[in-house]
């Protein structure tokens, strides 16, 4: 097979995997949606799927899957007013995690150090998400006190996402799927 054909096949499979991850992220929003008391927000399982996408896709494609998947989840789920905020917050959250992993993975010699790096990257991305939604909620609700009520829920969401991603990514890595 010639190089151009291989390149086209690689691009096609990356596009398909990106679209699939975007759809799985969107579905994860609908599977388990827990309303946050006193706010109009909710928590869901999307962060776990985003963190899995980071292990399967490169920077550009994982950010696209996270941004578009979460934004479409908001739009189709009746929370369109959050869609622009979500697009940027989830995209930047993903970008932060990917940049940390890409910057430091070469320095990790053991599987344990790679896992620790991934956890640190996901926590950093998750903390940005918490901060981003705090700012968005403060602006949208006109109350920083109400916005603060979402903080523990968002921390819980990304924490559950980290656990979900570690379990599923470990299984995928055992069968040779995912970035090393």
Cβ atoms 86, 133 nearer than 8 A: no
Q: What pLDDT is stored for residue 123 in this prediction?
A: 98
Q: What pLDDT is stored for residue 118 in this prediction?
A: 96
pLDDT in tens, 103-159: 999 999 998 999 999 999 999 999 999 999 999 999 999 999 999 999 999 999 999
pLDDT in tens, 11-43: 999 999 999 999 999 999 999 899 988 888 889
What percentage of the chain carries pLDDT values higher than 70?
Answer: 98
pLDDT at 180 over 60: no
pLDDT at 177 over 90: no
- Measuring CA to CA, which residue among 77, 78, 66 is closest to residue 132? 66
Q: What's the whole-number mean pLDDT along residues 72-84?
A: 95
Q: What pLDDT is stored for residue 156 in this prediction?
A: 95
pLDDT at 50 over 80: yes
Q: What pLDDT is stored for residue 36 in this prediction?
A: 86
What percentage of the chain carries pLDDT values higher than 90?
Answer: 86
Q: How far apart are CA 83 and CA 67, in angstroms?
A: 9
pTM of the model: 0.93
Name the pLDDT band for 1 (thresholds 50, 70, 90). low
Q: What pLDDT is stored for residue 70 in this prediction?
A: 98
């Amino acid at each position: 097979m010639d190089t151009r054909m291989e390149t086209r096949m690689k691009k096609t499979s990356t596009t398909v995997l990106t679209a699939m991850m975007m759809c799985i992220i969107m579905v994860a929003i609908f599977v388990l949606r827990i309303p946050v008391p006193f706010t109009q927000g909710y928590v869901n399982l999307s962060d776990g799927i985003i963190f899995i996408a980071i292990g399967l896709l490169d920077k550009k494609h994982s950010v696209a899957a996270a941004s578009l998947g979460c934004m479409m989840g908001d739009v189709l789920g009746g929370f369109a007013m959050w869609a622009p905020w979500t697009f940027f917050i989830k995209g930047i959250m993903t970008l932060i995690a990917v940049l940390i992993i890409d910057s430091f993975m070469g320095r990790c010699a053991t599987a344990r150090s790679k896992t620790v790096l991934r956890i640190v990257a996901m926590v950093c991305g998750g903390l940005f998400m918490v901060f981003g939604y705090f700012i968005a909620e403060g602006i949208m609700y006109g109350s920083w006190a109400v916005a603060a009520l979402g903080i523990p829920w968002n921390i819980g969401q990304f924490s559950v996402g980290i656990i979900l991603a570690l379990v599923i990514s470990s299984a995928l890595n055992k069968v040779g799927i995912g970035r090393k």
